[in-house]
Structure 1
Amino acid sequence: MDRVAMVVGARGVIGGNLISHLEREGGWRVIGLSRRGGADAGAVQHIAVDLLDPEDTVSKLSTLTDVTHVFYAAYQDRPTWAGLVPPNLAMLTNVVDAIEPAAPRLEHISLMQGYKVYGAHLGPFATPAKEDDPPHMPPEFNVDQQQFLERRQEGASWSWSALRPSVVAGVGLGNPMNLAMVIAVYASISKELGVPLRFPGKPGAYTSLIEMTDADLLAKATTWAATNPESRNQAYNITNGDIYRWSTMWPKIAAFFDLDTAPPLPMSLSEIMADKSDLWDSMVERHGLLPTPYGDVSSWQFGDFVFGWDYDVIADTSKSRRAGFHEYVETEAMFLRIFQDLRDRRIIP
């Protein structure tokens, strides 16, 4: 195996699916970094590391002399936009400071970003967003991270790439940004209580255009950009390739769970679902589900965030297609596949 991948943020939905893809693709030895670590298996080695601690990062990474590709997908959540900058920039800086002198064969550093680069989190933004759109007023850690890599890469033998997915969907527990899990648990609890599946977001969000990014598709795009010589030092929007409105997708989701729909009712999931822990525990026991703490199965705050977008959230992906990436995933099929996977794994009833 000539290629050695270091996946930073290995326990998240993006990092976990990337590791699975690298295993399927073959030809990679994989080192996964996370705060909790994990069990080694096959060509995958896990290392527990505190990336906010420069000394611990150097200690754990200094022996990884064979690393050729760094896939950075780590994230630290904070309650404010400004608060996100210091920890997330520090983690990336610590990783590069530790691995660059240790790994002489380093070829590429891949950075995971998102539509915050375009100001999607602030309000209605220019759509479809393009990779060369003008910047917006900071703070924004995604921008700071890319600028750090751009400066650091000058004169270096390695290159970088930046992937900008929309909302990422996949199977992963304990992740703060996993909309598929939010919907699956919300629907399961709705069914348990005998109530119809109501869209809980803002009225405008129900009819605005939105798109998703399948975690497996994103993994393919990430490795493509990291190994395609023409993608050196480039950023790419990566999405499934189709767009939709919740007004048409919501009834299809309800049908999967054998639920009726009812008119949307704006509500805070963070508030309305806060008292459902005991109900979830009883569902786990009654349906023979995988014992999973209620706090790990869903992030209601993230659901409120996405369902609050009462404006179009779409980006132009023609740059990646022109460069040679042509993968496509139908979003409706993606949702149903993820929901079925969650059932098969006994995470939801």
Structure 2
Amino acid sequence: MQKKTALVIGATGVSGRALIEHLDRQPDWNVIGVSRKPPYFQTKARFVHADLMDPQSCKDNLGGLSDVTHVFYCAYLDNKVIAETRAPNAKMFANVLPVIEAAAPNLQHVCLLQGTKYYGQYLGPFKTPAKETDPRIDVPHFYYDQQDLAEQASTGKGWSWSAARPHVICGFALGNPLNIITTIATYATLLKEMGQPFTFPGKPGAFTSVYQATDAGLLARAMVWMSTNPDCANQAFNITNGDFFRYQNLWPVFARFFGLEASGVETVDMPTRMAGADVLWDKIVAREGLQQHPLAQLVNWNFANYAFSNDWDVMSDTTKCRRYGFLEFLDSEEMFLDLFRDLQRKKIVP
């Protein structure tokens, strides 16, 4: 059995962690993780640390990885202003790709992690369901920069590229507060402690619009599939759970799970609403014997504002991945509840 070597860049985030946990279970894979911090979970992967914004750091720390066959690029540098995420994220990938290409003579594939921002989902109502063949929007984005670089660099070479386009990736990563699962769970926990009903904090239209999600484990399996299936070379695939939901239907389910009274919409500014909640959270952690993680490691209230503000339908067409052979799907309601239970097992929330 010839082993493949995965280089997972952004290895401690939600997507990177799920990829590593999936590949750890595969006998024909070796795994190297790249992150700014050491892993906080059990893994067989070897970790290296590099500053992706620094070309010299990339050369020094990644330039010797000659055994890499597959790259999974999951790194992301956030900014409150979405337009300002373009330059640094394009630069990081441009720093990494030539180093790995020069170091790894047996490189076979580079898989990019994108999302529905590719279709302009973050700007307002867009064509739904979004298809991979839809034209790019006029607003520049680092997804386009990264894909263009991968296309150009792979032309005439022995390696190919692919791109996964999920929406609202659901899983757990410590220190990654841009996470809908920990956002909902900590919000519910704090409201319960305050003795208040479980209100939906976003816009009324976001409560009723059609939405979708992508389980991090399903996404990991899809990214490995598209990276190792020759038919998927040089293509993009929408990857979601395969179903749709409205928060107005899920919110009462979440309320019952956390033992709260379900309520309707109460549009609030979450940073203002949750000002001072850190002290209350520390009290809950001490009383319930939870892992001692500061609230800021679990939730970003500005992200919560964004996550619950989409008052238009978000729908991706996933017939292409099924046509090419990826047939997995999940019930999103069950996924949310399973991930909430996982947070309880990990003693992240009570």
Q: TM-score range by the shorter chain?
A: over 0.9
In structure 2, the partner of 1:111 is 112
d(CA) in 1 for partners of 2:37, 2:132 = 34
d(CA) in 1 for partners of 2:101, 2:42 = 26
In structure 1, the partner of 2:346 is 345
d(CA) in 2 for partners of 1:307, 1:325 = 30
Poorly superposed stretches of 4+, deviation over 4 Å: 39-42
In structure 2, the partner of 1:158 is 159
d(CA) in 2 for partners of 1:177, 1:297 = 8
d(CA) in 2 for partners of 1:52, 1:109 = 19
Counterpart residue type for residue 169 of structure 1: C
Report how far residue 39 of structure 1 moved.
7.2
Q: What TM-score does the superposition give when structure 1 sets the normalisation length?
A: 0.98
d(CA) in 1 for partners of 2:319, 2:333 = 22
Q: Please give the secondary structure, in 2, of the residue aligned with 1:210.
A: coil
d(CA) in 2 for partners of 1:329, 1:69 = 26
Contact 1:37 1:49 survives alignment (8 Å): no
In structure 2, the partner of 1:321 is 322
Report how far residue 24 of structure 1 moved.
1.7
In structure 1, the partner of 2:175 is 174
Q: Please give the secondary structure, in 2, of the residue aligned with 1:303.
A: helix
Per-residue CA shift, 1:194-252, capped at 9, x if unaligned?
A: 11100011010111000000000000000000000100000000000110100101100
For structure 1, list consecutive stretches of 5 or more residues without a partner in the other structure. none
- Where in structure 2 are the equivalents of 1:1-349 lying within 5 Å? 2-38=3-39, 43-349=44-350
d(CA) in 1 for partners of 2:260, 2:22 = 33
Per-residue CA shift, 1:84-134, capped at 9, x if unaligned?
A: 111101111111111101000000000000011000000000000000111
d(CA) in 1 for partners of 2:175, 2:132 = 30
Report how far residue 139 of structure 1 moved.
2.2
d(CA) in 1 for partners of 2:242, 2:104 = 36
d(CA) in 2 for partners of 1:327, 1:26 = 21
Contact 2:162 2:226 survives alignment (8 Å): yes
Contact 2:21 2:43 survives alignment (8 Å): no
Q: Please give the secondary structure, in 2, of the residue aligned with 1:110.
A: strand
For structure 2, list consecutive stretches of 5 or more residues without a partner in the other structure. none
Contact 1:40 1:46 survives alignment (8 Å): no
Root mean square deviation, CA, Å: 1.2
User: Are the structure 2 counterparts of residues 136 and 63 from structure 1 closer, same or farther at C-alpha, using a change threshold of 3 Å?
Assistant: same
User: Are the structure 2 counterparts of residues 197 and 323 from structure 1 closer, same or farther at C-alpha, using a change threshold of 3 Å?
Assistant: same
d(CA) in 2 for partners of 1:302, 1:130 = 26
User: Are the structure 2 counterparts of residues 39 and 287 from structure 1 closer, same or farther at C-alpha, using a change threshold of 3 Å?
Assistant: closer
User: Are the structure 2 counterparts of residues 39 and 215 from structure 1 closer, same or farther at C-alpha, using a change threshold of 3 Å?
Assistant: closer
Contact 1:270 1:300 survives alignment (8 Å): yes
Report how far residue 313 of structure 1 moved.
0.6
Q: Please give the secondary structure, in 2, of the residue aligned with 1:266.
A: coil
d(CA) in 1 for partners of 2:149, 2:114 = 13
Report how far residue 179 of structure 1 moved.
0.4
d(CA) in 2 for partners of 1:305, 1:194 = 25
Contact 2:115 2:164 survives alignment (8 Å): yes
